[in-house]
């Protein structure tokens, strides 16, 4: 197999584009895809202050590396979820990457914010950890971005994450979610940062290849609560289809974005207000996060800065 750019020996095959690259040309290809996604969806400008949220996994750390190389104004935030063992390893992995690259990393702990970790919040609210975790992450990422003067929350969601969410939303005809699924969700309120996903066309395999080539010290372990999640089932099903018909995932994603207007009618007209307790954006008088915290007796941090 020859690299399609330099004709040297290829070591990374990108089946969705019927292409193969040598390590150096693969890095160039990966960076070019990210730059193209940022520009095509007008995600952010080269100087805008970005808050990249990093889990310690290969996707978000590869994106961190790529945004630094491309010269974007990026600060990383890691949220310590307080999951025994796993969270310590995730935090330390982010710290070693930051130290290796001399990059700026901030760490916020769920326990310090709410007085309870994710497993404790889940137990007290009698919900599955992933559901509580998703809500806490969205809330804290946005609050941290707005209070810190960042215009944008950047996440490491890749093509596999996006198509599995898309398949789940279609299987259950979640038209409201379909109307809102997009790699660039603009800000609709001064206290709402825009949210973008520059890796949405790159597969998990491509992110892994990039992380290995760049010698990124990522955590390969999955969150212990992710086991058995339906997204894993959808990813496996899509991998079977992709294996037989390379390029299906990307075509599925791009086709959805092209036909997104089909779901426009499901887009709810919502009136945004500021939560009476924490000041964050909500459609109710008190936001869902503060209601949850009040119900289970967790600490409510009054914060109206920003
Ligand atoms: P996941 O939902 O675990 O697939 O993660 C999707 C994206 O959310 C990752 O690529 C990160 O950008 C971000 N993320 C997940 N967990 C954390 C965390 N503990 N701290 C900061 N960002 C995170
Ligand atoms: Fe949130 Fe697993 S429960 S990452
Ligand atoms: Zn609130």
- 270 CA to middle of ligand 3, Å? 17
- 290 CA to middle of ligand 1, Å? 22
Domain assignments of the chain as residue spans, ordered by start: 35-270
CATH of domain 35-270: 3.40.50.620
pLDDT class of 304 with cuts at 50, 70, 90: very low
pTM above 0.75, yes or no: yes
Question: 3-state SS of 163-174?
Answer: HHHHHHHHHCCC
| Res 268: pLDDT | 76
pLDDT class of 305 with cuts at 50, 70, 90: very low
| Residues whose beta carbon lies within 6 Å of some atom of ligand 1 | 53-55, 59-60, 77-79, 81, 155-157, 161
Which among 59, 267, 291 is positioned nearest to 161, based on CA atoms? 59
- Only one residue has tokens 């137990």, namely 123
**Least distant ligand from the CA of 53:** 1
Alpha-carbon 92 to chain mean position: 19
**Least distant ligand from the CA of 191:** 3
| Res 252: pLDDT | 98
CA distances 97 to 94, 109, 110, 228, Å, are: 5, 19, 21, 30
Helix extents (H) in the chain: 23-40, 58-69, 86-101, 110-114, 118-125, 129-148, 159-171, 175-180, 204-213, 230-244, 248-258, 288-296
Nearest CA to ligand 1 atom 3: 55
- 136 CA to middle of ligand 2, Å? 10
> Mean pLDDT throughout 158-171?
97
**Least distant ligand from the CA of 60:** 1
| Res 148: pLDDT | 97
> Mean pLDDT throughout 86-109?
98
Sheet containing 50-53, strands listed edge to edge, beginning at the edge strand earlier in sequence: 105-109, 74-80, 50-53, 152-154, 194-196, 184-185
């Amino acid at each position: 197999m020859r690299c399609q750019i330099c004709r040297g020996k290829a070591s990374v095959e990108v089946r969705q584009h019927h292409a193969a690259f040598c390590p150096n040309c693969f890095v160039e290809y990966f960076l070019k895809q990210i730059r193209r996604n940022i520009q095509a969806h007008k995600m952010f400008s080269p100087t805008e202050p970005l808050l990249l949220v990093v889990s310690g996994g290969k996707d978000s750390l590869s994106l961190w590396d790529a945004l630094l190389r491309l010269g974007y104004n990026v600060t990383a935030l890691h949220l310590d979820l307080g999951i025994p063992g796993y969270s310590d390893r995730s935090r330390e992995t982010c710290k070693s990457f930051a130290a290796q690259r001399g990059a700026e990393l901030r760490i916020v702990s769920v326990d310090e914010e709410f007085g309870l970790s994710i497993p404790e919040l889940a137990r007290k609210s009698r919900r599955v950890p992933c559901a509580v975790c998703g809500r806490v992450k969205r809330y804290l990422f946005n609050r941290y971005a707005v209070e810190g003067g960042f215009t944008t929350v950047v996440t490491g969601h890749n093509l596999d994450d996006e198509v599995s969410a898309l398949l789940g939303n279609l299987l259950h005809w979640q038209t409201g979610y379909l109307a809102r699924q997009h790699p660039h969700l603009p800000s609709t309120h001064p206290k709402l940062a825009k949210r973008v996903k520059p890796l949405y066309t790159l597969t998990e395999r491509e992110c892994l290849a990039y992380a290995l080539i760049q010698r990124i010290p990522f955590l390969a372990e999955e969150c212990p609560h992710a086991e058995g999640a339906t997204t894993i089932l959808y990813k496996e099903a899509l991998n079977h289809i992709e294996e037989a018909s390379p390029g299906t995932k990307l075509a599925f994603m791009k086709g959805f974005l092209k036909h997104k207007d089909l779901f426009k009618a499901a887009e709810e007209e919502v009136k945004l207000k500021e939560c009476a307790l924490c000041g964050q954006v909500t459609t109710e008088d008190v936001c869902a996060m503060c209601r949850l915290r009040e119900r289970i007796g967790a600490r409510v941090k009054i914060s109206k800065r920003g």
